[in-house]
Chains A and B, each alone.
Chain A
Amino acid sequence: GQQLNQSPQSMFIQEGEDVSMNCTSSSIFNTWLWYKQDPGEGPVLLIALYKAGELTSNGRLTAQFGITRKDSFLNISASIPSDVGIYFCAGQPLMTGGSNYKLTFGKGTLLTVNP
């Protein structure tokens, strides 16, 4: 099956710092998604990317769909304590009429923000 490599596995930063994490794949994806999971909660969609090269922002979050279709990154600017959580990338392989069951998730990046 598809393999997603997400890095880093964990980050410990100071409040106010910027954060960057990324996902790479050996296969081409036609959709990249970024989710955040708070403790005791389910993953929540942050940003969805549908086009190679696309750069999308959601508040302090910015994500890009790599031009090769094999990678994506997520940046968080001016981090705050509530940014703490696990961030997951997810990709949907290139296929006609892509279905969600083909979504592959990265193993997550655990972000800790020190106030």
Chain B
Amino acid sequence: DSGVTQTPKHLITATGQRVTLRCSPRSGDLSVYWYQQSLDQGLQFLIQYYNGEERAKGNILERFSAQQFPDLHSELNLSSLELGDSALYFCASSVGEGNTIYFGEGSWLTVV
């Protein structure tokens, strides 16, 4: 158990819908990262927050957004979902911005 908690573990939704994935980082970690894992693209960095502020953006679509709340939990919002958005979405956290990253167990999103 890494200490990073993600919900839901599995989610099936229809195209065009919007979903929210939630992440609670390890106790004491200020940085939260979101990754998308698919068979063809591997692990792709989406976005990072540090203590409530957005710090870096990777390959995140405009239809996707995220935020980190004062209690440090984070949410990833995926809207206007397409079939190609089906993937495993991981949250990870670290104490600072260059320390070891710990991954959650992921949220498996299936868009039908």
Contact = CB atoms under 8 A, between A and B. Distances in A.
Interface in B67-111: 90, 92, 94, 97-106
Nearest to A48: B100
Size bin of chain B's contact surface = 20 to 34
Chain B residues touching A, majority SS: strand
A105 interface: yes
B42 A107 contact: yes
B105 A41 contact: yes
Contacts of A103: 45, 101
B106 A42 contact: yes
A78 interface: no
A74 to B, nearest CB: 16
Contact of B58 (A48, A88, A101, A106): A101
A100 interface: yes
A45 B102 contact: yes
A85 to B, nearest CB: 13
B2 A44 contact: yes
Chain A residues touching B, majority SS: loop
B36 to A, nearest CB: 11
A107 B106 CA distance: 17
A44 B90 CA distance: 12
Interface of B: 2, 4, 31, 33, 42-43, 45, 48, 55-56, 58, 90, 92, 94, 97-106
Given A42-B92, A43-B103, 16 more contacts: A42-B103, A42-B105, A44-B103, A45-B101, A88-B42, A99-B55, A99-B56, A99-B97, A100-B31, A100-B48, A101-B48, A101-B58, A102-B56, A103-B45, A105-B42, A108-B42
